[in-house]
Amino acid sequence: MQTIRINDTTLRDGEQAAGVAFTLEEKIAIAALLDSMGVQELEVGIPAMGAPEQEAISAINRLGLKADLIGWNRAVRGDVAHSLSCGLQRAHISIPVSPIQIEVKFQGDIAKMLRQLRDTVNFAKDQGLFVALGGEDSSRADPNFLLELLQQAQTWGVSRFRFCDTVGILDPFGTYQQVQRLVQNLTIPVEMHTHNDFGLATANSLAGIKAGATSVNTTVNGLGERAGNAALEEIVMALKQIYGIKLGIDTSRLKELSQLVSRASGNHLPPWKAIVGENAFAHESGIHSAGVLKNPQTYEPFAPEMVGGERRLVAGKHSGRRFIETLLVSQGIILSPEALQSLLESVRRCSMEVKRNLTSEEVLNLAYQRELTYAN
Ligand code: MN
């Protein structure tokens, strides 16, 4: 399979999540970590938003990162001028392409929309910028209209097209069809930008890649507008583990990256969050814990160390004898089969009462209430 480029937009679409505002220091820390992990491209913000955003983008630009930096612009010269003043060499120029978006933003005047886009692309190209075109609401655009527009845009020197499922209404099968048609009829690479309104953002981006897209716009933790975007950690690990694609990204820092963005965004992740959630490698049930104790691969898709995570075997309502016994043996404690069974019942009962896992200390305390034999 082809080389895939990750273009992370945590600092742009991620920050557009309701209630999220990164400080300058947080933006710099996020950009620097993404870069040091080997993420190839960063969408660093919207230069036209004003002075604080411009200062942050300029500061990131001055870090001299290896990653390519791109700014998000509307199809107006002024936006591109702000990108230039931040020192950026790459401009993403977004244009609405669905009937509803063209109606709301251009009063349905397609000719005006095309003139404005062409003018802005020409301006950006004249300034020597790499120009990527974003089709806002591509998934609801007329496919013929979109293809014709893009075939024109190619002749203007646009270097990449971003297919945006702006309101997250596609499924992987529909995504595949729409993206494949574009890939087959365009010479420029296609980038995926998918939203998670139906929980399909990652699946849809992968479908786009299967259809020939070669770049994905991700956010750490899936942060972003409404239900968020395709999560960087999910896309990276799926490409690596399911498709066997080498991205050159240090995945062992994914958990650290997730925690950094979680703190900066003020959002706690659900424990079951794929790849980086607290429970992503936690095992409670008796059958699973016993299996993992013999061979972790029994119930893990890959080793937690690959993403900087930790395997946790925890005591709770669903625990079995094997895990409790192993926990005791690790403390040099041996229980008779009867005592072990009664301890297991206590562990289950206590866990139900407190509605959480018991700590190892709590399990040991329950054990000490029984007749113990200490191994030497
Ligand atoms: Mn978006």
Q: Tell me: the pLDDT tens digits for 39-56?
A: 999 999 999 999 999 999
- C-alpha 325 to ligand 1 mean position (Å): 50
Same-fold call for 5-265 versus 282-375: no
Residues 6+ apart with CB under 8 A from 72: 9, 12, 43, 45, 46, 92, 94, 134
CA of 274 to the centre of ligand 1 (A): 21
Gap from CA of 27 to ligand 1 centroid (Å): 18
How far, in Å, CA of 318 to CA of 306, rounded?
27
Q: CA angle at residue 78 from 72 to 79, to 5 degrees?
A: 5
**Ligand 1: centre distance to CA 81 (Å):** 22
Amino acid 376: pLDDT: 53
- Please answer whether residues 55 and 266 qualify as being in contact, where contact means their C-beta atoms are separated by less than 8 angstroms: no
The ranges assigned to domains in the chain are: 5-265, 282-375
Low-confidence ranges of the chain (pLDDT < 70): 1-2, 371-373, 375-376
Span from the CA of 229 to the centroid of ligand 1 (angstroms): 7
- Contact indicator for 191, 7 with CB cutoff of 8 Å: yes
Distance 225 CA to ligand 1 centre (A): 6
Residue 196 near residue 168 (C-beta atoms within 8 A): yes
What distances in angstroms separate CA 266 from CA 108, 130, 145, 263, 278, one per listed residue? 39, 34, 41, 5, 16
Q: Residue 104: exposed, middle, or buried by beta-carbon count in 10 A (0-12, 13-18, 19+)?
A: exposed
Span from the CA of 13 to the centroid of ligand 1 (angstroms): 5
* 347-362 pLDDT, tens digit each: 999 999 999 999 999 9
Q: How far is the CA of 195 from the centre of ligand 1 (A)?
A: 7
Q: Tell me what pLDDT residue 370 has.
A: 80
Distance in Å, CA 119 to ligand 1 centroid: 24
Q: Report CA(95)–ligand 1 centroid distance (Å).
A: 13
Domain 282-375 has CATH 3.30.1330.20: no
In whole angstroms, what is the distance from residue 155 CA to residue 158 CA?
A: 7
* Residues 8/219, Cβ–Cβ less than 8 Å: yes
The CATH number of 5-265 is 3.20.20.70
C-alpha of residue 223 to centroid of ligand 1, in Å: 10
b/e for 138-167, b at 16 or more Cβ within 10 A? bbbbeeeebbebbeebeeeebebbbbbbbb
- Residue 301 CA to ligand 1 center (angstroms) comes to 29
Query: How confident is the model at residue 2, as a pLDDT?
Result: 65
Which residue in this structure is represented by tokens 């609405």? 96
Centroid of ligand 1 to alpha carbon of 210 (angstroms)? 21
3-state class of 177 per DSSP? helix
Residue 191: CA atoms inside 13 Å, Cβ hemisphere, count?
26
Query: What pLDDT is attached to residue 375?
Result: 63
- Distance from the CA of 280 to the center of ligand 1, in angstroms? 26
CA–CA dist 191, 331 (Å, integer): 53
Rounded to the nearest whole angstrom, what is the distance from the C-alpha of residue 18 to the centroid of ligand 1? 13
